[in-house]
Homo-oligomer: A and B are copies of this chain.
Amino acid sequence: MASLTSGNRRPVRLADIAKAAGVSHGTASNVFSRPEIVREEVRERVRAAAEAMGYGGPDPKGRLLRAGKVNAIGVATAEPLSYFFDDPFARVMMAGISQACDATGAGISLVSAANNEQLAWNIQSALVDGFIVFCIEGGSRLVELARERKLPFVALDLDSEDGSVAAIGVDNIAGAGMAARHLTDLGHRRFAVLALPFADDRTGLVSAEQVRAATYAGTRDRLTGYLRELSRVGVDTSKVPVYETANDVASTKAGLETIFASDAPPTAILAMSDRIALVALEWLSARGLNVPDDVSIVGFDGVPEAAVSEPPLTTIAQPIAEMGRLAVRAILESDGPVSRHQLPVELIVRSSSGPPRG
């Protein structure tokens, strides 16, 4: 039926319908972008030609080059793409980002990749006006890549010393301090820390040197916050086991095995993420240990899942969605000097923490 113009495999261009309608390409362009300035008769003629030739409207590829602005922001991470839809923290963050994008009519491009080369290429070739970078793991490399694009970008949850990158984060030291303080107030004196990565691709008990050499300043800050508070009440922090996890199930369980192999197991666990804490909750219950009677546990992040776990998790809540919103605004209104926001956190006491037995 519609094969009048078919056979010609090449897609129709604006110039084609201009010729068909007997007008200049300038006029043809106007028919689509500012129809009100072209005479009705001509307008209809051009539209009819477009219809007849199966023209799908001005190709944004062409428009883009001229316009310069893509009207989309890229959200990048070193995790696979599904991270955005699976991870609770990421999802709340994305909800905030979505909101801000919706409000301004900007689109979202998800940028990510399994392997490193692909990631570099994806970032280099992403059609976006700026990047929001998720600095969970492989953060430093991501930031480097994003910086090379010379586009505005904001690092999320990064506590980089590098003042030249815009970043939005929370006061990790204060937050961690609040978590520790909550537990010491309850009377705990035997602790263990389940940490986020200090550096890439490593898990296990960490030494003081390794902490000092941490790639991830955020992890180090949380630890600092914990230990500072613990030593305030006289705990020998050199005896507190700090197990570095990869923020996943396997390494967290391994950490718990290690920690509870001790003669004097902790009565309280400081987990640097809710994800870790949630895994710990499950592991402890499977082990027959009661939370909070045998072991108290405090998470970090404040993801929705923490509110409905068994038992509900005491945690340090970050204003995750707000951070997302702020990030979008920082990109879109990227004008002034590099902006570095530090947002407040909040201790949310639920049922995973209580006084130690006896």
Contact = CB atoms under 8 A, between A and B. Distances in A.
Interface string A141-153: 0000000111100
A108 B124 CA distance: 15
Interface stretch (A55-63, A224-232, A235-243, A268-276): A55-63
A61 to B, nearest CB: 5
Contact of A110 (B11, B54, B107, B148): B107
A160 interface: no
Contacts of A72: 109, 127
Nearest to A69: B61
A338 to B, nearest CB: 13
A99 interface: yes
Contact of A149 (B56, B82, B91): B56
Number of identical monomers bound together in the oligomeric complex: 2
Interface string A109-130: 1111110001000101111000
B113 A102 contact: yes
Number of contact residues on A: which range applies?
35 or more
Contact of A109 (B55, B98, B108, B151): B108
B102 A112 contact: yes
28 contacts: A56-B150, A60-B125, A61-B68, A61-B70, A61-B127, A64-B65, A65-B65, A71-B125, A72-B109, A72-B127, A80-B98, A81-B101, A81-B102, A82-B94, A82-B99, A82-B102, A84-B85, A85-B85, A85-B94, A85-B95, A86-B91, A86-B95, A98-B110, A105-B113, A107-B122, A107-B126, A108-B109, A127-B127
